[in-house]
Chains A and B, each alone.
Chain A
């Protein structure tokens, strides 16, 4: 079946540090890949996505590249801010079904 594996958190960084949150997946066919973010007290929201190999999704300074050869979709940001503190979820969607398969989430805490 389909699955998503994320690095465990929490990840604690100082402001302006470089961020990488690893995500790898197992899926049949060619899934679409997503990063969702959950800020404190809010619902999950889509951060970025990529629908085919070598696509790069980007939003709010975050980027992730769909790497089929390594089945990965790592999330990166060059300089994090305190306001980026949140839980980040990697997810995939396989085929035409609307169902998403999520990773366990990685909590990021950014300090001054």
Chain B
């Protein structure tokens, strides 16, 4: 298992600003992911954070809007850039061990962003 800490846990942001969310894991993990959960919606994968290289983004998500860093095997950041009210959401960091083939993911508690 893994203990995943996300910061901030919640924030209220102004339109047009950017916010960086941090994800710290208590052990080295192979795979790290960023999900978004909009109000009343399912969890949607934003991207896979790759250590030492550019993240792999899902359809509908782009690096300019959601830049991601992963400098090592225990830490990643997600930035939500130029925010609008539509970006109000819970952002979740999750990790998997091995190649993620079992489908078991471990999640942080999430970062709840409200954009005014």
Residues in chain A within 8 A of chain B (CB atoms): 4, 32, 34, 36, 38, 41-46, 49, 89, 91, 93, 96, 98-105
Contacts and interface: CB of A to CB of B under 8 A. Distances in A.
B109 A46 contact: no
A44 B105 contact: yes
Given A98-B96, A98-B99, A98-B101, A43 B107 contact: yes
B43 interface: yes
Contacts of A100: 43, 45, 103, 105
Contacts, number: 56
Q: Which bucket holds chain B's interface residue count?
A: 20 to 34
Nearest to A44: B107
Contact of B92 (A32, A43, A93, A104): A43
A49 B104 contact: yes
Interface centre among B33, B42, B92 (most CB of A within 10 A): B42
A25 to B, nearest CB: 12
